[in-house]
Structure 1
C-alpha cells in the first residue's frame, strides 16, 4: 500500500467509525484520539492548501471522494512520505482491527453463561 493509499484508507476508516464525531459507545477514546492526531498532522503538513484541509476536516467515509480531493495535495506537500503521518495512519488502522469489546466470546453450545466482570452464577443441570 502506498503512502497515499494508507492515509486515504485510514481517514475513511476513522470517519466511518464515527471517530470524528467524538467518542461513541462503539468508538474508543483511543481510536478517536488517534484519528484526530492523524488529522492534526495532515492539517499541519497541508498548510495553506485550504481545499485539502477542508476535505480532511469533513470526515468523508469514501476513499474515492478522498482520493479525488487529496491525492495531489498529499503528494505536493510530502505528506505521503512523512513517516510520522504514515505511522499515525498505521496506528489507527491497527486500532480499528482490534476487537471492540473487552471480551471476545464464542458461546456456541454453552449452557448457563455469564459474561462480564464481578459476576456470579449457580447452575443445576439435569
Structure 2
C-alpha cells in the first residue's frame, strides 16, 4: 500500500478495534502512537484532531474527511508516522484491515449486489 492508504487505513481500523473490549493493549498503544504522531506532526492540528475524533466516534463513517485532513496537514510523507501505522496494521486481524480499506458508497444505488459469484437480473422502470 502507498503511505497515504497505510495511514488512513490504520486510523479507521485502529479506531474500530480500539473501541472493542477484545482489543489488546498492544493495539490500543499502537493506535495511540499513530494518533499522537499525527496530532504533533500536523501543520493544521485542529483539522486533523477533528477528523480523528469524528472517526473514533463512528469509525470509517467519513474516510474522505480523514484523507483530506492528512493531505492538508502534510503528513503523507512522514516516515515515522508510516512506520507507526504499519505496526498498528500488523497487530490487527487481516479481515479488519480489509474492511477498513474497502469503501463502497451506495447512496442512490439500485439493484446492488456485493460479493463473489453472484447472479442478478434487474428490471428498473
Q: Same fold (TM over 0.5)?
A: yes
Q: In the alignment, which residue of structure 1 is the partner of 2:14?
A: 14
Q: State yes or no: 1:50 paired with 2:43.
A: no
- Say what the alpha-carbon RMSD is for the aligned residues: 2.1
User: CA shift at 1:51, angstroms?
Assistant: 2.3
Q: CA contact under 8 A between 2:70 and 2:76: conserved in structure 1?
A: yes
Q: TM-score, normalised to structure 1's length?
A: 0.63
Larger Rg: 1
Q: How many residues align?
A: 92
The partner residue of 1:61 within 59, 62, 70 is 59
- List runs of 5+ in structure 1 lacking aligned partners: 99-126
Q: CA deviation at 1:47?
A: 4.3
> Does the aligned pair in 1 maintain the 2:34–2:81 contact within 8 Å?
yes
Find the counterpart in structure 1 of residue 112 from structure 2. none
Corresponding position: 1:34 with 2:27 = no
